[in-house]
Amino acid sequence: MILAVLLRFILCFSFPNLSDDVYRFIWDGQLIHEQINPYTVLPSQLPTQTISNQKQLFELLNSPNYYTVYPPLSQLVFYISTFVKGNLFLSALIMKLFLLACEIGSLLSMKKLLEHLNLSKNRIFIYALNPLIIIELIGNLHFEAMSVFFLLLTLLLVNHRSLGKSAMALSLGVSAKLLPLMFTPFIFKYFGKSYKFLIFLSLFLLLAFSPIWWGFQFLNFGQSLDLYFGKFEFNGSIYYVLRYLGQLLSGYNLIRFIGPAMALFLLGIMLKFYLKQKESNLLQLIHLCFFSICAYYFLSTTIHPWYLAIPLALSVFTNFRITVVWSGLIFLTYVNYSYEQYNENLWFVALEYLLVWGILFYEWVIKKGDSHIANRL
Helix (H) / strand (E) element for 309: namely: helix 309-315
What is the structure's pLDDT at 227? Answer: 58
Indicate the residue type of 332.
L
Distance of CA 286 to the CA centre of its chain: 16
- DSSP count for the chain of H helices, then E strands: 20, 0
Report the candidate in 314, 297, 304 with the shortest Cα–Cα distance to residue 356: 297
Distances (CA, A) of 310 to 85, 125, 264, 275, 327: 32, 15, 22, 23, 11
Q: Inform me whether the pLDDT recorded for 374 exceeds 80.
A: no
What is the percent of the chain with per-residue pLDDT over 70, rounded to a whole number? 92
Strand partners, 302: 234
What is the structure's pLDDT at 54? Answer: 77
Helix 195-208 with 163-174: angle, nearest 10 deg = 40
pLDDT tens track for 335-365: 888 887 778 889 999 999 999 999 999 998 8
Helix (H) / strand (E) element for 210: namely: helix 210-213
3-state secondary structure at position 51: coil
Mean pLDDT of 239-267: 86
Q: Inform me whether the pLDDT recorded for 278 exceeds 60.
A: yes
Helix (H) / strand (E) element for 329: namely: helix 322-329
3-state secondary structure at position 302: strand
CB 38 within 8 A of CB 31: yes
What is the structure's pLDDT at 231? Answer: 62
Indicate the residue type of 372.
H
Q: Please, what is the Cα angle at 325 between 322 and 331, to 5 degrees?
A: 130
Indicate the residue type of 321.
R
Confidence of residue 211 (pLDDT cuts 50, 70, 90): confident
Distance of CA 144 to the CA centre of its chain: 5
Q: Inform me whether the pLDDT recorded for 53 exceeds 60.
A: yes
Q: Please, what is the Cα angle at 334 between 355 and 15, to 5 degrees?
A: 135
Strand partners, 277: none
Mean pLDDT of 249-269: 86
> How far does the chain reach from its first CA to its final CA, in angstroms?
35
Strand partners, 234: 302
- Taking the C-alpha atoms of residue 275 and residue 278, their distance in angstroms, rounded to an integer, is 8
| Torsion angle of the four alpha carbons 327, 333, 335, 338, in this order, in degrees rounded to the nearest 10 | -120
List, in order, residues 6 or more apart from 114 with CB less than 8 Å away.
120, 121, 123, 124, 316, 317
Indicate the residue type of 101.
A
CB 91 within 8 A of CB 81: yes
| Sign of the torsion formed by the C-alpha atoms of 329, 74, 123 and 363 | negative
pLDDT tens track for 142-159: 999 999 999 999 999 999
- Taking the C-alpha atoms of residue 294 and residue 292, their distance in angstroms, rounded to an integer, is 5
- How many C-beta atoms surround the C-beta of residue 149 within 10 A? 26
| Sign of the torsion formed by the C-alpha atoms of 32, 34, 37 and 41 | negative
pTM of the predicted structure, to 2 decimals: 0.92
Confidence of residue 370 (pLDDT cuts 50, 70, 90): low
- Taking the C-alpha atoms of residue 277 and residue 97, their distance in angstroms, rounded to an integer, is 38
